[in-house]
Amino acid sequence: MCYDNSLKVKLPEIIGAVPFPLAVQQGLQFQPTFHKIGMSYPAWPVVVDHNGARLEEFTWGPIPAMLNSPEKVKKQRQYYLNARSEKVLEKNTMWSKIRHQRCLIPSTGFFEYREVGLKSKVCYTINQGANKVFFIAGLWALSNSWDTDKSEKIPTFTLLTREANPLLKQIHNAGENPGRMPLMLTEDMLATWIRPDLDDAGIKEILDFSMPPDNLEYWPVNSVRKRHEDDESVLQRVEVEGLPPIEV
């Protein structure tokens, strides 16, 4: 699944990547980041339709009502960082219940691990060009507070994943939930995905979309799960001796 994301641009670049008028939450601030891990539950700018398209700050990782104690939140919240796209239209799933609460998650690249041999894993960055902002489909929810004694709700989101394309199947080939990738959208899908009146047929059409490998760039990098600075070095290409080529 996708737990490692980057957004290394400032707000004007994010706004400029959206092909329609976009209001911005008052006081919204964002510090560009080369890598954030979902398990840190970072704040992230996302695009929603609240009486018009808006860029607002949400937190990655919903907190379902069933996580009703700090202990449960600590142990189980990570399981809601991603949502399988196949579950969005499946009756009686938590994702189906919020399928009309859709959002766009900006990214400049994500990271996955490729298993090479029995014990070796190589980290890759996957993007759509060195500085290009692209968008991943998501769902949002107003979640219970981390402090379960408080009544206020927190704006949160989950990132949708789908079956991987031929490229990502070779990169994300092992570990937890192999053969998955983020549900990346094309520019002409963005306004449709957050449209409040989009029906289930329209939702399904987008859920069925798979980003072609030709639209993606990728290369091996140092592991993002080891201690590192939040700077360009995260994306520096590394040479891995004996690394088999990827064939698409």
Give the tens place of pLDDT for each residue, 149-205.
667 899 999 999 999 999 999 999 998 889 999 999 999 999 999 999 999 999 999
Residues shown for the chain: 248
Cβ proximity of 168 and 141 under 8 Å: no
Domain 4-235: CATH superfamily is SOS response associated peptidase-like (3.90.1680.10)
C-alpha 60/C-alpha 244 separation (Å) is 34
The secondary structure of residue 92, as a DSSP letter, is T
Q: What is the pLDDT of residue 181?
A: 98
pTM of the model: 0.96
Report residue 146's pLDDT band, with 50, 70 and 90 as the boundaries: low
Give the tens place of pLDDT for each residue, 13-47.
999 999 999 999 999 999 999 999 999 999 999 99
Who contacts 180 (Cβ-Cβ below 8 Å, separation ≥6)? 1, 2, 82, 84, 161, 162, 163, 164, 168, 172
Domain ranges within the chain, ordered by starting residue: 4-235
